[in-house]
Amino acid sequence: MKTVTREAAEIDAPTRVLIIFPGALGDLMCLLPAIKAIAWRHRGSAIDLMARAELARFIVDRIDFVERRSRALSRAHSQAHSIDRREVSALFKASEEIEGSTCAFFSQFEAIYSFFAADDANFRRRLSESCSGTVTFHPFRPPGEGHVAAAYLRSVLSSSSIGALAEFSAIGQISLLEPLKGDLDSAAARLTALGIEPENFVAIFPGSGSTAKNWPAEKFAALATMLAGRAVFVLGPAEAALAPALGAHRFAILHSLELGAVAGIARLARAFVGNDSGAAHLAAAVGARGVVLFGPTDPARWGPLGKVAVIRRAPIASIEPAEVHAAICDLELEMGSHRAPKEA
């Protein structure tokens, strides 16, 4: 008869922890250290993420959990859940009785960390009653001073696990996400089709979720000209209108990429430049060095977590391409480059 060890049994059926988070890509990047702290606290458990459907799976597959065994468990067993699923909307109903399917879903978790609807008393009550374990509620965007990522960490760390704080204090010095091989292969194929050599280009992310945060397109074009053929523009759906103007300059352009390919492009880039955007947060999270341009938002509160240089000025249009170009050259020199880009 085959003997099953305790550890093997735990790997076959680990306990589960759920994190509920409603934010966009940039918000989720700021939550990553807190997710890793939760994984540290619940070592041996699978960590599930409930978020926007397209983001939840992306994060679960790529997050670099802190402890090796926890990482293996989480990647093998963790699941992504859409925050739009029926069981979530049922928590907002006013009726006293909770649907059986809602209880069945949430009762499978030994702990739930909800950054969603934390101020909704009905939601809090119904979620707590549906879960057989511990439920804690945390503000989506915590108030106070300092970086929002540090605020998320303080929210999830208690006195019983305060020792974890030192491990996560250097959140700006680590890669928070690890691109998959498929991400890197897809990115390399896209670059090859453009005649671009990996690790010898600068990725430019010219958009963001708000036009008020965007550096003018003509200044991005001037910067790309200074980079003398090494610039690759990465456009999302919101920046599609920029493609004709950029194409007229014969700049290399990638558009309509899945998040995995964007992560791969950032990882293969020598450096990146972008506005305060989800793409810039993602690039920093996968370990890319970059220059991030800020106007109305405060980088001390919302800056990407990683090895980035920040240039902030209001209005953002007053930042000059030569200044950004110089910052890129400084980054490359720090990386040991002997081939600083020449101005055209």
Position with higher pLDDT, 109 vs 176: 109
Q: What gap in Å lies between CA 43 and CA 68, rounded to an integer?
A: 10
Q: What gap in Å lies between CA 28 and CA 25, rounded to an integer?
A: 5
Per-residue model confidence as pLDDT tens digits over 248-261: 889 999 998 999 99
Q: Are 152 and 35 in contact (CB under 8 A)?
A: no
- What residues contact 169, with CB distance under 8 A and at least 6 apart? none
pTM of the model: 0.88
Per-residue model confidence as pLDDT tens digits over 203-235: 999 999 898 999 999 999 999 999 998 999 999
* Per-residue pLDDT, 76: 62
* Per-residue pLDDT, 71: 54
Of 57-61, 66-70, 127-131, the range with the lowest mean pLDDT is: 66-70
* Per-residue pLDDT, 100: 85
Per-residue model confidence as pLDDT tens digits over 175-207: 689 999 999 999 999 999 999 999 999 999 999
Indicate if the pLDDT at residue 67 is higher than 70. no
**Number of residues that make up the chain:** 344
